[in-house]
Amino acid sequence: MKHIRTKFLIVFLALTFATLFAMGWLVHYEIKAYFQKWFVNHLELQAKVVLAAFERESGGDISFAKSIADAGKFRITLIARDGKVLYDSEVQPEYLSELETHLHRPEIEKASKFGSGTDIRVSNTVHHSYLYFAQRIESTQKHGLLENAEYLRLSIPLTEMQKAISEIRKEIWMVGIAVMILMVLASIGISRSISKPLIDINKAVREIQNGNLDQKIDIPNKDEIGQVAQAINSMVSQLKDDIVRLKKLERVRSEFLGNVSHEFRTPIFMLQGYLETLLDGALDDPNVNREFIEKAYGNALRLNTLLADLIEISRIESGEMRMSFRYFRIGDLIESVAEEFRPQAQMKNISLSVDYDGVDRNQEVYGDKERLGQALRNLVDNAIKYTQPNGLVRIVSRDKGDSVNIEVSDTGIGIPEEHLERIFERFYRVDKERSREAGGTGLGLSIVKHIIEAHSSKVIVTSEVGKGSTFSFSLKK
């Protein structure tokens, strides 16, 4: 297990190094930012003092400006609107004309836009690293030394700040090296204490891998490694049951694939038959061509609906479908679904009504409005499909104290009692031929069940053959 100990040592040291490096960089960054902020605030304050002093000095004495710069230990530059340098405390007056325009210096551009601006760079004039602060001069201040100036710029060398930061960085590295040495020693001891029980776990897992399900790991530790050992023991004890469950799941999977293939096969064969008949000459027969094309189109629609439902049920059962829970008005949901299905109900001469039993249509409930709408549409669609002409379909909301109960009832054919427990299974149909004729995929109620259960509710079904059915669920207010 020397290899595992080495890995532990490398991991511990890598994490320590990464942590120390990140902390060192962060401390260095924060210290540097603190110094820079302090100097910027200092220059901003000094700029106000300099402007006030220049306002009081009406004689335009340049030596006065030099004395202020020397006293404050900063550099003063006066810049005209066009970027020409009018005065610089570090440059002799006879050389000012040789200086390039300062109009496009970053701090000047910022001052032009925002009234003030800062920048850090190496000066092109004196070739030292400087912090610059530029202040736009108000028109009321432009007299004396400031008469032709548009910007006042103060700057200070950053040599001392950089030296201090360098010293701090050196101390951080020294502390980091000391911590690394301590971590090496600690890592060696920790890796040894961890590797021993891991050896035992490794041996036991190899036995289990070879099929010895009677293997048991005996580690008295109560730490995470001991918990891992207990988890493996528990896993082994459940493995036999899992094997049984896996066989059952495999059987369910096979049945599901068989159902899917059967559901697809029927419309595909019918679609193929209609198209072959049309290609064999029926396409030129006006008595049958439209009928066959319409039937082929209907089967294509059925395939599309089946595929959409399969994708939806797959997303739901795999956990890919995410719910978006929020409060919404119950009346908005019910009315929108009712309006959507009224044309379908009218085509079958079925009355579709909405009733509020003790519930204000503006009552808010909590849930995913879009998914609940999908579930409610499936229930209303089924109710209309299995209700005879001149029948009645009702969407009713009832007040249940801290919740609202939503019911979809019909006066349709009803469901025999022996089928009620299985109608939410995928592809389960009470009357397969009639369900296919009605255009059902056998997945609608399964989708409804998953959506409602995701809202911590349950679909309740009551039905009587020949009199109709009622599907209901509740939503929290």
pLDDT band for position 121 (50/70/90)? confident
User: What average pLDDT does the segment 435-453 reach?
Assistant: 73
Q: What is the DSSP string of 242-260?
A: HHHHHHHHHHHHHHHHHHH
Give the pLDDT mean for 378-404: 92
Percent residues over pLDDT 90 in the chain: 25
pLDDT at 389: 92
Place of tokens 């200086």: 99
Confidence class for position 135, pLDDT limits 50, 70, 90: very high
Residue 207 to residue 202: CA distance in whole angstroms: 9
One-letter amino acid for residue 63 of the chain:
S
Q: pLDDT for 63-74, tens place per residue?
A: 778 888 888 888
Q: 400 Cβ partners below 8 Å, 6+ apart?
A: 474
What letter represents residue 346's amino acid?
Q
CA 305 to each of CA 312, 398, 442: distance values in angstroms, whole numbers, following the listed order:
10, 32, 11
End-to-end CA distance of the chain: 60
**pLDDT class for 112, splitting at 50, 70, 90?**
very high
Higher pLDDT, 21 or 263: 21
Q: Which residues of 324-337 are buried (b: 16+ CB within 10 A; e: fewer)?
A: eeeebebbebbeeb
User: Could you say which DSSP state residue 413 is in?
Assistant: S
Nearest 5°: the CA angle 269, 442, 302 is 40
| pLDDT winner (highest mean) among 14-18, 175-179, 370-374 | 370-374
The pair of three-digit structure tokens given for residue 215, joined into one six-digit string? 């293997």
Query: How much is the mean pLDDT over the chain?
Result: 81
Nearest to 233 by CA among 219, 216, 218: 216
Indicate if the pLDDT at residue 410 is higher than 90.
yes
Task: State how far the Cα of 108 lies from the Cα of 213, in Å rounded to an integer.
Answer: 78
Among the residue ranges 82-96, 168-182, 362-376, the one predicted with the least confidence is 168-182
Residue predicted with more confidence, 407 or 317: 407
Is the predicted pLDDT of residue 78 greater than 80, yes or no? yes
| pLDDT, position 469 | 93
Whether the predicted pLDDT of 394 surpasses 90: yes
pLDDT of residue 1: 45
Q: Give the pLDDT score at 309.
A: 67
384, 348 contact by CB (below 8 A) = yes
Q: Please enumerate in sequence order all residues whose Cβ is within 8 A of that of 381, keeping only pairs 6 or more positions apart, or say none.
A: 341, 344, 444
Please tell me which residue, 326 or 170, carries the higher pLDDT value: 326
Say if residue 273's pLDDT is above 90.
no
Highest mean pLDDT among 259-263, 296-300, 364-368: 364-368
Residue 145: both structure tokens together: 């030394």
**Percent of the chain whose predicted confidence (pLDDT) is above 70:** 85
Q: To which residue do tokens 């040592």 refer?
A: 9
The answer on pLDDT for 280 being more than 90 is no
d(CA 379, CA 469): 11
- The mean pLDDT value for 362-370 works out to 92
Rounded-to-integer distance, Cα 234 and Cα 395, Å: 50
460-464/364-367 β-pairing:
unpaired
Residue 298 has pLDDT above 90, yes or no: no
- For the residues 78-107, what does the mean pLDDT come to? 89
Instruction: Read off the tokens for 49.
Output: 């003092």
**How many angstroms separate the CA atoms of 332 and 426, rounded?**
30
Residue among 381, 367, 358, 355 at smallest CA distance from 329 = 367
Both tokens of 316, joined, read 């739901």
Q: Dihedral (C-alpha) 354, 388, 264, 452: value to the nearest 10 degrees? A: 30
Mean per-residue pLDDT, 209-216: 72
| pLDDT for res 70 | 84
Domains and CATH numbers, the chain: 2-164 (3.30.450.20), 246-318 (1.10.287.130), 326-476 (3.30.565.10)
